[in-house]
Structure 1
Amino acid sequence: MIVTLTKGITMSVGGFAPAFGIALIGSKAMEAIGRNPEASGKLFVPMLLGMAFAEAIAIYSLVVSFTL
């Protein structure tokens, strides 16, 4: 029972935090592109890298949940 609860907490925290981070990254990138449309090429790669690193946290929590 405690293992199931631990898995649920791990996945909920590990899923919520990256989702919030990805939303914040996307929101700020769109604000920056809205203010300066010419900078969209310079913002695209760092935005994708930030989203990928945030998504990696969700994948790590999934792996931890499977190993419990």
Structure 2
Amino acid sequence: MTWLDKAIKAERGLPVPTPGRTIMYVRLPVAGQGDVALIVSLGENAKADPQLERLAKELAGQAGT
């Protein structure tokens, strides 16, 4: 399964790192059909560490997940 397939099928509110682990993707629910994507990065040379995952979860929570 490609990263995009995993990201699209991920549970809403659950951060999914890209293969290079520099970006976290989070699906957010919306009223009606569809989803919103929250994309979080600390920069192209940063790695997805617990800090990036916590940041993505916190922002997703503030967005209403």
TM class by shorter-chain length? 0.3 to 0.5
TM-score w.r.t. structure 2 length?
Answer: 0.32
Higher percent of residues as strand: 2
Greater RCO (CA < 8 Å, at least 6 residues apart): 1
TM-score w.r.t. structure 1 length?
Answer: 0.31
Greater Rg over alpha carbons, structure: 1
